[in-house]
Amino acid sequence: MRAVQVSRFGGPEVLVCADLERPSPISTEVLVRVVAAGINPVDVKTRQGSGVARWAGPPPFVPGWDVCGVVEAMGYGVTRFKEGDMVYGMPRFPRAAGAYAEYVTAPSRQLARMPRGISPNEAAALPLAALTAWQCLRDAAQIRDGQTVLVHGGGGGVGHLAVQIANVLGARVLTTGRGDREALNARDIDVALDLVGGADTCELLACVRPGGLLLAVADGADDEVKSQARRRGVRVQEPLVEPDGHALDEIAALVGSGALKVMVAETIPLEQAAAAHERLERGGVKGKLVLEVGRD
Ligand SMILES: NC(=O)c1ccc[n+]([C@@H]2O[C@H](COP(=O)([O-])OP(=O)(O)OC[C@H]3O[C@@H](n4cnc5c(N)ncnc54)[C@H](OP(=O)(O)O)[C@@H]3O)[C@@H](O)[C@H]2O)c1
């Protein structure tokens, strides 16, 4: 099968095309013929040797987690799907899933049927970003009607979905984009979602009310952030997204009802994965980048 591998840790040029053996599903797994693979910042970080490289590596390995494709075969015990179903998901994270390839295997309960009314390219853009927003806002923060949520970095892959999900959960939403930091002057925020990190995390913390929650998604929270949070009585969590087929069902329902829209900025052929990483690293992408791998 055609695939792209991280040949060694480094810049985009270490992404090389390879011809690899097709994987086979063991019990409880499905074999997915990949139609499209979403790109996330963690793919770039892992290619560089950081991110989740310690679990996904060592090179050579096939990077990527987000997939949408067709169920081609199933191992013993799978009841959730049948051959020919169109599925989507981000299996195995933070171990390697090998999404930049024509075929992947995945534990069946880490996948869901792709949402109605959108293309496979759009479905492939959803799993990791939407699950991050969902697990932060619905599961960790348990957002309730009338709460105020501040999404720092609201124009990116996670951010544009988080803004909509917070709205669906009944929150009033404030957001920032690069060059638009007005919302960082807000105070008494119930929940802040940090998708930017770095020095901004302390500034974001100052917006959160005592008893409120800062979700340090981008970089986690350093000692300075944690001690300031303790002084002010703000709770801090450092979430890491996990595969979750049932949450993907709920996200698919939101997309199917028109309440959640995913924005694909560009689709790029699998063979040009290096150019796609360069594009993401340059910044300014509105929404998501997706690799086109096969036909549905
Ligand atoms: N912990 C987890 O489980 C988890 C899961 C998903 C993502 N993440 C991390 O969370 C971060 C965001 O992920 P993503 O997929 O949303 O990335 P993304 O698509 O690159 O989006 C980041 C957004 O933040 C904007 N931004 C950058 N600097 C900013 C600033 N100073 N003020 C306001 N906005 C700013 C970017 O704008 P420009 O494009 O103009 O720079 C972009 O729109 C990444 O670091 C990613 O690795 C963590």
SS (H, E, C) 30-91: EEEEEEEEEECHHHHHHHHCCCCHHHHCCCCECCCCCEEEEEEEECCCCCCCCCCCEEEECC
Q: pLDDT at position 254, please? A: 98
How much distance in Å is there from the Cα of 283 to the middle of ligand 1? 9
Give the Cα separation of 224 and 151 in Å (integer).
21
Instruction: Please report where in the chains the tokens 């499209």 appear, as a residue.
Output: 36
- Residue 134: which of 260, 256, 227 has the closest Cα? 260
Instruction: Please determine, for residue 296, whether its predicted confidence score (pLDDT) is greater than 90.
Output: no
Give the Cα separation of 264 and 176 in Å (integer).
20
Burial label, 148 (beta-carbon count in 10 A; 0-12, 13-18, 19+) = buried
Instruction: Please report where in the chains the tokens 């917006």 appear, as a residue.
Output: 207
Structure tokens given for 158: 């996670």
- The two beta strands, 288-292 and 264-269, are parallel
Average model confidence (pLDDT) across the chain:
97
DSSP category for residue 154: T
**Percent above pLDDT 70 for the chain:** 100
Partner residues linked to 103 by β-bridges? 33
Which bin fits 130, alpha (ψ -120 to 50), beta or left (φ > 0)?
A: alpha
Which residue, judged by its Cα, is nearest atom 29 of ligand 1?
178
Q: pLDDT at position 169, please? A: 97
Instruction: Please determine, for residue 3, whether its predicted confidence score (pLDDT) is greater than 90.
Output: yes
Instruction: Please determine, for residue 295, whether its predicted confidence score (pLDDT) is greater than 90.
Output: no
The HSE-up count of residue 214 (CA atoms within 13 Å, CB side) is 33
How much distance in Å is there from the Cα of 177 to the middle of ligand 1? 10
Distance of CA 87 to the CA centre of its chain: 16
On whether the CB atoms of residues 72 and 103 are closer than 8 A, the answer is: yes
Q: pLDDT at position 57, please? A: 81
When pLDDT is cut at 50, 70 and 90, the band that residue 236 belongs to is very high
Atom of ligand 1 nearest to the CA of 45: 47
Instruction: Please report where in the chains the tokens 């949520």 appear, as a residue.
Output: 149
Q: pLDDT at position 179, please? A: 87
* Residue whose CB lies within 8 A of the most ligand 1 atoms, among 93, 131, 134, 158, for a mutation test: 158
Atom of ligand 1 nearest to the CA of 158: 16
* Residue whose CB lies within 8 A of the most ligand 1 atoms, among 136, 178, 279, for a mutation test: 178
Q: What is the pTM for the complete model shown?
A: 0.98
Ligand 1, residues at Cβ distance < 6 Å: 40-42, 128-129, 132, 152-153, 155-159, 176-178, 195-196, 200, 217-218, 239-241, 283-285
Which bin fits 4, alpha (ψ -120 to 50), beta or left (φ > 0)?
A: beta
Cα torsion angle, 165, 166, 170, 175, sign: negative
How much distance in Å is there from the Cα of 17 to the middle of ligand 1? 27
Q: Which of 167-171, 177-181, 236-240 is predicted with the least confidence, judged by mean pLDDT?
A: 177-181
Which residue, judged by its Cα, is nearest atom 38 of ligand 1?
284
Atom of ligand 1 nearest to the CA of 198: 31
Query: Each residue of 12-47: pLDDT tens digit?
Result: 999 999 999 999 999 999 999 999 999 999 999 999
On whether the CB atoms of residues 263 and 287 are closer than 8 A, the answer is: yes
Instruction: Please report where in the chains the tokens 């599903």 appear, as a residue.
Output: 25
Query: Each residue of 76-105: pLDDT tens digit?
Result: 999 999 999 999 999 999 999 999 999 999
